[in-house]
Amino acid sequence: MGTVETYILGQKYTIKGDAPDEHIQKLVAYVNSKIQEVYENTPQIAPLKASILAAINIADEFQKLKDEQESIAKHIEEKTDTLSRLFD
C-alpha cells in the first residue's frame, strides 16, 4: 500500500491509495485496456474523449453487474421467504 507509478496511454501517473499495489496495477491495466478499445474503434479520437467514452463503458458494465446483483439478491430473498413459510 502506498504509491504506485504506472502508465495510461503511455503517460506516467502516480497513484496513491490504501489498496495493495497489485490491485491498483490491475485497475490501471483494466482502465488502459478500455481506453485502447475506444481507440481501436475510433483511431482519430482525442485522448480526453476516449477516456470519457471508456469511463461510460466502465460505468455501463458496473451498472449491469449491480442490476444483476440486485436481481439475484431479490431472487434469493424470495426463495428464502418461500422456504421459511414451509417451516411455519
Residuewise pLDDT in 10s, the chain (88 residues): 689 999 998 899 999 989 999 999 999 999 999 999 999 999 999 999 999 999 999 999 999 999 999 999 999 999 999 998 888 7
Q: Alpha helices of 1-88 — where are they, by DSSP H?
A: 21-41, 47-86
CA distance 3 to 25: 11
Q: Contact, 21 vs 2, CB < 8 A?
A: yes
Please give the model's pTM, rounded to 2 decimal places.
0.81
Q: Contact, 64 vs 87, CB < 8 A?
A: no
Domain coverage including residue 12: 2-86
- Number of independent structural domains in the chain: 1
Torsion of CA 56, 59, 60, 61, to 10 degrees: 130
